[in-house]
Amino acid sequence: MDNATNFHCYQINGFDATHIFAFSVVFSNEDLKSIIKILNRTDFKMLVFNCDPTRASKLGLKFDIHLGSFTSSMIGGKGSFTSYIYLKKERE
């Protein structure tokens, strides 16, 4: 299932997912724009995303609060990545 075009993958039993973790490190800007367009249509409350607030805003993500960030790495991986936590009060 393609998460960049399928709105239903962000729903559970027909309801919008409220907490979403999107490992978006490897996505192109075009993929991110498509995913963000769908995320903006949902009622997510908390989103963990690998785009910093400046890039996320430029790509169109609508959020109310950037809560913070944390750095982690994949088991067995040599690199690390930063994840950013966003809160949204209402859908677009």
Q: What is the pLDDT of residues 8-30, one digit of tens each?
A: 455 555 566 677 777 777 889 99
Tell me what the pLDDT averaged over the chain comes to: 80
Share of the chain above pLDDT 90, in %: 30
The per-residue pLDDT for 38 is: 85
The per-residue pLDDT for 11 is: 58
Q: What is the pTM of this model?
A: 0.74
Q: Is the pLDDT of residue 44 over 50?
A: yes
In our burial notation (b when 16+ CB lie closer than 10 A, e otherwise), range 43-68 reads ebebbbbbbeeeebeebebebeeeee
